[in-house]
Structure 1
Amino acid sequence: MISRTGSLFNVLLFFAFLLLSHGITIPAPSNGHYTVSQTTAKLIDESRTDPYDPNKGKRNVMTSIFYPVRHKHCESTCEIPYAPPITARYLDAFAAQHGIPDGTLPSIRMESCCNTTSQATKEVTKFPIAIFSPGLGATRLLYNAMAQTLAASGYIVATIDHTYDAMIVEYPDGTFTPGLDPSYWNIEPPELEERLTKLLDTRVEDGRFVLSQLGNASVVKSLIPGTTCAFNTKRAAFLGHSFGGATSIAALMKDRRFVGGANMDGTQWGTISNIYKPALLFGRAEPDTHNSTTDATWQEALDHMKAWKRELGLRNSAHNTFGDTPLLVKLSGWEITDAIRTLIGTLDGGRSFQIVTTYLTAFTDFVLKGRRSPLFDGESSLYPEIVVA
């Protein structure tokens, strides 16, 4: 579940093949009442020394902020790059090292609201916040479409690159920080568990820091010019995939501002204490099952969840179903090979993306807006692919 050299390599290799075929444009979400704008920023935590920085500099993270805009307040849309240029070239070079022809890597693009009315910026700080943490070694960019879809339902979604953990973190000025060498993780227990627990704690602090920054009016004004105040950070959701899912549950134990968390297919690491907030474990059903019967850390987590809790399983899925990859497969028209099925499962990519984002949105609606959904009461005729434990 945490193999950096396994799952990360497969994702990179797949994306290289996918992108070398032709460009992809991700359309604007059609699920919500809003269109979506986005902005990115490097945030520096002056209170922390980065434990992975050889120069002992202050901890910094890159974040993408996706925010809803009423359709009538979006003056124009445009296509923006899915990933910045150095990251795209990095993926291209990585692919070349593994026998894929080197060349210009076409950019995936996203449809986004690029110009808004002044009223849109005045309204933006009224929306509730969800923090999102990616898988171990993964870039936040591989969850852009998922974040955009959630934002379209009326949420501020802040995705985080955990520096030195992510494969590469590219900054607005064109500089970048590469991830730790994969050998850092290729060690035996108990040192591996110690390193992962340290990383988990660092990631939780990253999430807490980003949330605090969104409560700083001057930071928000620089992120979204035209805003007049900070976001309300007293209540937020924490969502994540894989190790990011473990981060979300760990954050519930450490910060009362996080009032609900969802772990998508991630083994839980670190010390698990009682949780008195809504929590969702969203894993895989048959044939490649990952749930509390196959992962003891999930059962331990469920035993410590003292408030609302649910365990879901998605049939015919794989670990990387829980991100943008299935949607990109669908949009690309790429031939579904055995390697791709191993990566994302056998469920249609568009369908699996729809299901995952629907349930993630329903959970966030419950946590932050108090809207109960029958989707969590039992199996649904609309989504028979989901098993509710």
Structure 2
Amino acid sequence: MPHAPLLSTALAGVLLLPLAAPGTAAAAPAAAFRVLLPAPTGEHPVGTTDLHLVDGTREDVWAGGPRELMVTLWYPARADAGRRAPYLTGAESEFIVRANGLDLPPDVLHRGVRAHARLDVPPARTREGFPLVVLSPGAGHNRTWFTSLAEDLASHGFVVAAVDHAHEASPVEFPDGLRHQEYTPDWALGAANRAEDVSFLLDRLTGADPAWRWSRVIDASRVGMAGHSWGGTATAETLRAEERVDAGINLDGPYYPPVLEEGLDKPLALVQNGQGREWHGTAELWPRLEGWRQWIRLRGSGHSNGIDQGLVTERLGLAEELYSPEQWRDLYGDVGVERGLELVRVYGLAFFDHHLRGGDQPLLEDPEGFHPELVVVDPGAE
């Protein structure tokens, strides 16, 4: 099939279809539209903080000037106390609501979506340090849509860093205001650019001059990465290019050179949609994976079941307003948005526990035996 990392116009950004005329916000407060994200399943409370990072040594390939990133960290916290972190920022929420002409409060995605992490609280104490997992979102997607996956990993003893790659996501609030995606057909360049973003992030989190005051809790010798769509492409490329990243999960993304030509000798999981659409380069890369590998087809899923977007959209009652039935199926299939998200969280935890901590994870030996939707693909048998 012809490939681009977008399956439909609905993927062009956060909740967005092609932009509608601005609407008038409803009079009801955001609290009247409450969405509670799935609770983390681990033993640790979760903390979170945001970082603005500027790489003055590298020119932004899309816009010129220094390369800038917005990053959210989630981490095991010392106590379940303090103020809950908001979801999207007020400005990001207002942009989405007004751009789509929604009859909702402008701050509904800021105050109306309730996550579980506490803002800027101290991390849990650790002797060995917590492994780090980097998350890279799909084209046009804000990093915040990874919150449910990130909070769950953090509750099980991982530090998680989700990156908004500037000019590849929309909308993202930087200190100087909102920025939006600048679309490009050069997906291979974007993947390489994101790999450089991750290298810079690791320098700032684990180097001599850390950007986070509690960076000492990160074990820099155990680093994983997961990405959705374009972020999955970037995950494979980062595994190839960055020796500090040990293992990765590609959530329904394609592959391009140079990783497509060179292959990998590190653990990589391919978690694909359940509708039979195979991304560019998957069959070519598979025989070049010389390390641990697993190809999962998430039965009944669409392109975006690993992120919060579908669950938030459905619980706000916006699914039919924003998507045609065909677009909704492309994105979320018929597995159910909450179940699809749960499966990605369960599989992601097993994968990173095993490959970063050496945990015994029978689920990886027989995914379908634990969850019938996690179908292992055997290309030799097809």
- The answer as to whether partners of 1:28 and 1:36 remain within 8 angstroms in 2 is no
- State the match for 1:238 in structure 2: 225
Gaps of 5+ in 1: 186-191
After TM superposition, what 4+ stretches of structure 1 lie above 6 angstroms from structure 2?
Answer: 14-17, 333-337
Report whether the alignment pairs 1:91 with 2:93.
no
Q: State which of 373, 377, 381 in structure 2 corresponds to 1:385.
A: 373
Q: Indicate which of 294, 299, 318 corresponds to 1:315.
A: 299
| Map 1:293-312 → 2, pairs under 5 A | 294-295=278-279, 297-312=281-296
Change (3 A) 1:342 1:283: closer
Contact conserved, 1:323 with 1:353, CA < 8 A, in 2?
yes
Note the alpha carbon deviations across 1:336-386, whole angstroms, 9 max, x for none: 783544431111222211111100111111110112422222343431111
2:170 to 161, 167, 170: 167
Match of 1:344 in 2: 332
SS class of match (1:316): coil
Once residues 166 and 299 of structure 2 are traced to their aligned partners in structure 1, the CA distance between those partners, rounded to angstroms, is 33
- 1:211 maps to which of 202, 214, 229: 202
Q: Whole-Å Cα distance in 1 between the matches of residues 319 and 193 of structure 2?
A: 39
How much is the aligned-residue C-alpha RMSD, in angstroms?
2.9
User: How far apart, CA to CA, are the structure 1 residues paired with 2:313 and 2:141?
Assistant: 18
In structure 2, runs of 5+ residues without a counterpart are 378-382
Judged with a 3 Å threshold, the aligned counterparts in structure 2 of structure 1 residues 245 and 205 are, in CA distance, closer, same or farther, namely same
1:154 corresponds in structure 2 to 157
Q: Deviations over 1:139-191 (max 9, x none)?
A: 111111221111111111100001011113212x35232221xxx43xxxxxx
Task: Give the corresponding residue for 1:43.
Answer: 53
Change (3 A) 1:114 1:274: closer
Q: For 2:253 and 2:241, how far apart are their aligned partners in 1?
A: 18
Q: Map 1:233-382 to 2 at 5 A.
A: 233-271=220-258, 272=260, 273-285=262-274, 288-290=275-277, 294-295=278-279, 297-328=281-312, 331-332=315-316, 338=325, 340-382=328-370
8 A Cα contact 1:4 1:137, kept in partner: no
Query: Could you tell me how far apart the structure 1 residues matched to 2:80 and 2:268 are?
Result: 38
Q: Is 1:376–1:388's contact at 8 Å kept on the other side of the alignment?
A: no
SS in 1 for 2:368: coil
The one-letter code of the counterpart of 2:303 is H
Pick the aligned partner of 1:128 from 128, 131, 152. 131
CA distance in 2, matches of 1:115, 1:311: 37
Query: Structure 2-normalised TM-score?
Result: 0.84
Q: Which amino acid aligns with 1:297?
A: G
Q: Is the 8 A contact 2:265 2:289 kept in 1?
A: yes
How far apart, in 2, do the equivalents of 1:209 and 1:320 lie?
27
Contact kept? 2:59, 2:66, Cα under 8 Å: yes
Other-structure match for 1:189? none
Change over 3 Å in CA distance of 1:321–1:75 after alignment to 2: closer
Q: Does 1:177 align with 2:179?
A: yes
Residue 44 (structure 2) pairs with residue 31 (structure 1) = no
CA contact 1:236–1:258 (8 Å) conserved in 2:
yes
Q: Which residue of 2 aligns with 1:79?
A: 84
Aligned residue for 1:371, secondary structure, equals: coil
Aligned length: 357
Write the letter of the residue equivalent to 1:137: G
- In structure 1, distance between residues paired with 2:171 and 2:343: 29
**Structure 1 pair 200/335, CA: closer, same or farther in 2 (3 Å)?**
closer
Write the deviation string for residues 217-250 of structure 1: whole angstroms up to 9, x where unpaired.
5434xx34xx383733233101101010010011
Shift of 1:101: 4.2
Q: Is the 8 A contact 1:50 1:59 kept in 2?
A: yes
What percent of counterpart residues are identical?
24
Q: Which structure has more helix as a fraction of its residues? A: 1
Deviates more, 1:276-285 or 1:375-384: 375-384
**Cα displacement (A) at 1:332:** 4.5
Residues 14 and 170, structure 2, Cα contact 8 Å, conserved in 1: no
CA distance in 2, matches of 1:93, 1:255: 40
The amino acid that maps onto 1:361 is: L
CA distance in 1 between counterparts of 2:236 and 2:360 reads 21
- Tell me: CA distance 1:230–1:103, structure 2 relative to 1, closer, same or farther (3 Å): closer
Matches of 1:143 and 1:350, distance apart in 2: 14
Matches of 1:307 and 1:89, distance apart in 2: 45
Letter in 2 for 1:66: W
What CA distance in whole angstroms lies between the structure 2 residues aligned with 1:170 and 1:203? Answer: 19
Partner Cα distance (2:13, 2:62) in 1: 25
Shift of 1:58: 0.9
Which of 92, 112, 120 does residue 117 from structure 2 map onto? 112
Report the Cα offset of residue 255 of structure 1: 1.2
